[in-house]
Structure 1
């Protein structure tokens, strides 16, 4: 089965691209959503996170304490690396199980902002980088994430792998710049992927 990765920085429109693939009947693995699920339900992972970051990692009712983990790890590169090194192997296993469960599909798509940072690209056959100019991304994010300031958004973008590097490493680029039509770009890729399976 062909495994296609979709990546790009915050605000480029990865989810929109994946929704088009989903409408075409292709199974989509949303790494961010699944990571949150795994962090709530994988008992071994919960123990590892508690051991590494303290009992504040989870609330009394067993829910992930995202605010605590963000405050503890996000601003410290070493702690963030530790957090990722604990979480990513569990998400990788979850992805492998999900692929096995979707083995009748012609191909699958994995959406992941941290495709390269998490080494998830190694599990993919091809990568699509979604691109949007910085001003378009910031405008979208200010409209979508009303709780964030422009400074917050720029800080998040600054921590992610540069778009130029993502585009250079990808086999395909989809431009979501509000100038080029998105659906024809995705349809062309869909047809290309189907021709390979």
Structure 2
């Protein structure tokens, strides 16, 4: 059973994903973390990125994240190109992860662009994490010293929350950590029960 977990930038979806780690019968795949690893280790991705973004895409055999970010976050077409290069390899990697975790009750697939990349199509259930826009902006500006304008620009490249929420099975309001823990426990119990009837 695959459970997609998504949410806009600053919603705290990775924090929520980490709350699922305490459950021994759950495996968790953080797509963004694995994508970063693959962008540095996959020769297929490396070759395509250099062809698309030039030799500056890598410095000393490592991905030049600042250079790539400056290009894609101001250009929706280039961002789409980047995703088209990286996400097919992430999906292949995830399939291997699933095969290694067939003994688990369910697998959490955390992906910021779950809907945008059409990864929702292989999920049995979807959880969307959301927070108030002011909370999200505050979190991101504190996390990586982005400006408010930069955060809003990145938000424009993602689906709006209401569009995600309408297509989700479960919703977690992530404004307060204690409340989020309760919501995670509640959803986990439901998913564990559903697994029994599959």
**Is TM (by shorter chain) over 0.5?**
yes
C-alpha separation in 2, matches of 1:135 and 1:79: 28
C-alpha separation in 2, matches of 1:48 and 1:173: 36
Moved more, 70-79 or 155-164: 70-79
- Where 2:134 maps in the other structure, the secondary structure is helix
Per-residue displacement from partner, 1:28-61 (whole Å, max 9, x unpaired)? 10110000011111111111111122111111x2
- Where 2:127 maps in the other structure, the secondary structure is strand
1:183 is matched with: 181
2:28 is matched with: 28
User: What is the CA distance between 1:143 and its match in structure 2?
Assistant: 2.6
1:17 is matched with: 16
Q: Is the 8 A contact 2:3 2:125 kept in 1?
A: yes
- Structure 1 residues 38-57: aligned runs within 5 Å: 38-57=38-57
Point out where structure 1 has 5 or more consecutive residues left out of the alignment. none
Q: Is the 8 A contact 2:73 2:154 kept in 1?
A: no
2:122 is matched with: 123
2:138 is matched with: 139
Query: Normalising by the residue count of structure 1, what TM-score does the alignment of the two structures yield?
Result: 0.93
1:152 is matched with: 150
User: What is the CA distance between 1:180 and its match in structure 2?
Assistant: 7.5
User: What is the CA distance between 1:179 and its match in structure 2?
Assistant: 9.1
Q: Residues 55, 111 of structure 1: CA spacing in aligned structure 2 closer, same or farther, 3 A cutoff?
A: same
Per-residue displacement from partner, 1:103-136 (whole Å, max 9, x unpaired)? 1111110111100111111121110001111112
Aligned residues: 194
1:79 is matched with: 78
Per-residue displacement from partner, 1:1-25 (whole Å, max 9, x unpaired)? x100110001111112111111122
1:110 is matched with: 109
Query: Normalising by the residue count of structure 2, what TM-score does the alignment of the two structures yield?
Result: 0.92
